[in-house]
Structure 1
């Protein structure tokens, strides 16, 4: 099961966080700081799976963004690694190939859309959808309603 999903920039600032099990607010900041530090300090040659306390971290770097997913011992690391890539591809498809510099701004100013994408893919910490067209369908409906 997925415990949390984080999107962080290279400066260590959290751009998106979603927790699938209860973590107190003050502990979230401390957890995020430790997780980010452990992932940012790793070299590109090291594995993208990290044993951390009682769970594992799976992360990928895309330009200036890191996506970090905390999973329990029963979850498949490769599946989560591919989930991260699929999530980025869906963002890329929805935001129509924004440049690497603009991606942080696109996420920050459209956080509701990013949460919808993530919610279409994950439900209560379980992967429920990977088809990009099905993930984007509700957003396209919302966009049509907003235009009309």
Structure 2
């Protein structure tokens, strides 16, 4: 049985938010699926970015926090964190995190923190292809990559079509 079959047959874990935090505690990506005010969001980020990077490498990847469970995994210099209810399956979340990282790695070709800093919009787009409203929607890596590349080609086509128009405007006003 593959991972995607488990998602269909088992309980789908509602994710409250996704955070990507650097070792220095800087947020590189934050996606919220539950309603939080701006003040609550900044407090959540401050608390978790203080807790998670300071945990020892031999401790488990689950943190009991405010009646929720934060599940995280470190890849290179980034901590990928997802928050769910206490009773939800943490191992499923670790699989979702790994799935997201594998897709980022395939898309960027050995993804690094700088890829996410300078192409944050693509990282959000990839995450939006995987998760919708905090639930996994697409578990096929090839499908996600194909959709993101199709989106990239549409953006490039739109830029090429807009470019001749922008070159003609200065000439027409002279």
Does TM, scored on the shorter chain, surpass 0.5? yes
Say whether the 8 Å CA contact 1:2–1:75 is kept in structure 2. Answer: no
* Counterpart in the other structure of 1:133: 142
**After TM superposition, which residue ranges in structure 1, 4 or more long, deviate above 4 angstroms?**
none
Taking the TM superposition and a 5 Å limit, the aligned residue runs for 1:104-115 are 104-115=113-124
* Counterpart in the other structure of 1:60: 73
Matched residue count: 144
Q: Identify the match of residue 101 of structure 2 among 88, 91, 95.
A: 88
User: What is the aligned-residue RMSD (CA, Å)?
Assistant: 1.2
Unaligned runs of 5+ in 2: 1-13, 158-174
Please report the TM-score for the alignment, with normalisation by the length of structure 2.
Answer: 0.79
Q: Identify the match of residue 60 of structure 2 among 33, 47, 63.
A: 47
Q: Identify the match of residue 123 of structure 1 among 122, 132, 155.
A: 132
Unaligned runs of 5+ in 1: none
Q: Deviations over 1:55-99 (max 9, x none)?
A: 00100001110111111134211010011011111000000124x
Say whether the 8 Å CA contact 1:2–1:125 is kept in structure 2. Answer: yes
